């Protein structure tokens, strides 16, 4: 009996140690002491397989430490909660990466920050190669980003009202923004084996900071053999593939999903025989919402010839998306929610919202439009009249 009990205890202990070890291997720690970090709490936001995760990080005497689990390489930002870096204008603010702590998290990583906070986050990560590389990049671009956003802030808050001075400030801001993009492109070229380069390219594509031709050329320089298994490389590859797959003249990629408003399976192929507008949008996107009445007008105008498929990108579980559709029953077209397992935003290489793609009755893409523009309606009249 005693020997049997001892064996059971040993098994339990081994299981506990194994689970503890596994948890350690799948967690990362980020910590640091940053001069000027005078907030009580910081706020961390990142995406994983469950969706968007949010948490608070306590700050004591300018120091912090935070540990959590993660399954794959992820770019993470932390809002320091310091008023000095908030670019406030009226009731809103200008979002700026230079106002955030940014780092690469991987299972088992120990990332440490050092630096200072002035009117931007002049603090950078160190630890593994990816974070050393990211620190090198952000040390170059954060000060420039901060100068640019400060100029925009002065104009928005009417600190400067002279029209000539405003034009000069806008010109200076444009030069700074272009310099940032040039630095980013050179960084990718000079660091083809860095995971940060793969992430950076995908991020630039997402923000429409690089042309499709340039993105394809830069991607060809990235070291596939070293980075092919990383989440950053996979995303960049999918975006580059999406450029080619969703160009005008190509057959539209499949959209087959059960993530729909009514819970029924949707298949884009079922709409063949009609013109289809695929509208990539989000409840957070003002221009997307502003364009919906015109979309409804055109759906009614060409109701026997045309269909609309709304593909939404949301940071939550889709609650806001469902509520919006419920509250606006007049937008009674097909609604699909893009999710991590079926990421149609990535698959179609959508870089700006709204993006509207016109598909002809045979399934061929005949138009692609970024932003709420009259061009799409001119094109629809041309095709459907």
pLDDT surpassing 80 at residue 79: yes
pLDDT at 201 exceeding the cut of 90: yes
For residue 120, what are its two tokens? 């931007």
Which regions of the chain does DSSP assign to beta strands (E)? 27-35, 41-48, 51-58, 63-69, 74-79, 88-89, 92-93, 101-105, 110-117, 121-126, 256-257, 266-267, 275-281, 306-313, 334-338, 355-359, 365-370
**CATH, domain range 256-384:** 3.40.30.10
Three-state secondary structure call for residue 306: strand
Q: What is the share, in percent, of the chain residues with pLDDT greater than 70?
A: 93
Does residue 25 carry a pLDDT above 80? no
Q: Domain residues of the chain, as ranges? A: 27-126, 160-245, 256-384
For residue 227, pLDDT over 90 is answered with yes
Class for the domain spanning 27-126: mainly beta
Tell me the whole-structure pTM to 2 decimals.
0.78
Residues forming beta bridges with residue 69, ordered by sequence position = 27
308-365 pLDDT per residue, tens: 999 999 988 889 999 999 999 999 999 999 987 788 998 998 888 999 999 999 999 9
The residue written with tokens 């399976």 in the block is: 265
Q: Contact 309/276 with Cβ under 8 angstroms? A: yes
Element holding 300 (H helix, E strand): helix 286-301
Residue 306 predicted with pLDDT over 70:
yes
Going by DSSP bridges, is the β-strand pair 306-313/334-338 parallel, antiparallel, or unpaired? parallel
Q: Do domains 27-126 and 256-384 have the same CATH topology?
A: no
Average pLDDT of the chain? 91
pLDDT above 60 (res 12): no
- Mean of the pLDDT values across residues 58-87? 95
pLDDT value for 9: 54
């Amino acid at each position: 009996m005693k020997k049997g009990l001892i064996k059971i205890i040993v098994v339990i202990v081994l299981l506990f140690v194994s689970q503890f070890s596994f948890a350690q291997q799948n967690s990362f720690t980020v910590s640091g002491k940053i001069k000027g970090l005078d907030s009580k709490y910081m706020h961390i936001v990142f995406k994983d397989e469950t969706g968007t995760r949010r948490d608070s990080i306590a700050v004591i005497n300018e120091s912090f430490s935070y540990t959590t689990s993660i399954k794959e390489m992820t770019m993470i930002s932390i809002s320091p909660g310091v008023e000095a870096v908030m670019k406030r204008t009226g009731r809103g603010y200008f979002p700026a990466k230079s106002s955030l702590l940014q780092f690469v998290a991987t299972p088992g990583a120990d990332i440490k920050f050092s630096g200072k906070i002035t009117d931007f986050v002049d603090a950078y990560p160190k630890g593994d190669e990816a974070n050393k590389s990211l620190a090198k990049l952000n040390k170059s671009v954060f000060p420039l980003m901060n100068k640019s956003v400060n100029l925009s802030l002065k104009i928005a808050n009417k600190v400067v009202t002279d029209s000539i001075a405003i034009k000069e400030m806008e010109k200076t801001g444009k030069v700074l923004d272009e310099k940032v993009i040039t630095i980013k492109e050179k960084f990718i070229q000079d660091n083809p084996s860095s995971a940060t380069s793969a992430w950076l390219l995908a991020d630039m594509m997402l923000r429409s900071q690089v042309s499709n031709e340039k993105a394809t050329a830069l991607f060809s320089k990235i070291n596939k053999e070293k980075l092919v298994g990383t989440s950053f490389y996979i995303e960049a590859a999918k975006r580059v593939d999406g450029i080619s797959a969703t160009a005008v003249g190509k057959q539209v990629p499949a959209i087959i999903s059960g993530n729909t408003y009514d819970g029924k399976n949707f298949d884009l192929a079922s709409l063949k025989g009609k013109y289809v507008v695929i509208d990539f949008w989000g409840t957070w996107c003002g221009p997307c919402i502003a364009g919906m009445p015109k979309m409804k007008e055109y759906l009614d105008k060409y109701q026997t010839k045309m269909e609309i498929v709304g593909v939404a990108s949301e940071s939550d579980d889709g609650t806001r998306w469902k509520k919006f559709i419920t509250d606006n029953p007049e937008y009674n077209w097909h609604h699909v929610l893009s999710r991590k397992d079926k990421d149609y935003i990535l698959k179609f290489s959508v870089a700006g919202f709204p993006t509207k793609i016109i598909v002809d009755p045979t399934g061929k893409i005949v138009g692609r439009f970024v932003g709420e523009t009259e061009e799409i309606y001119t094109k629809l009249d041309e095709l459907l009249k």
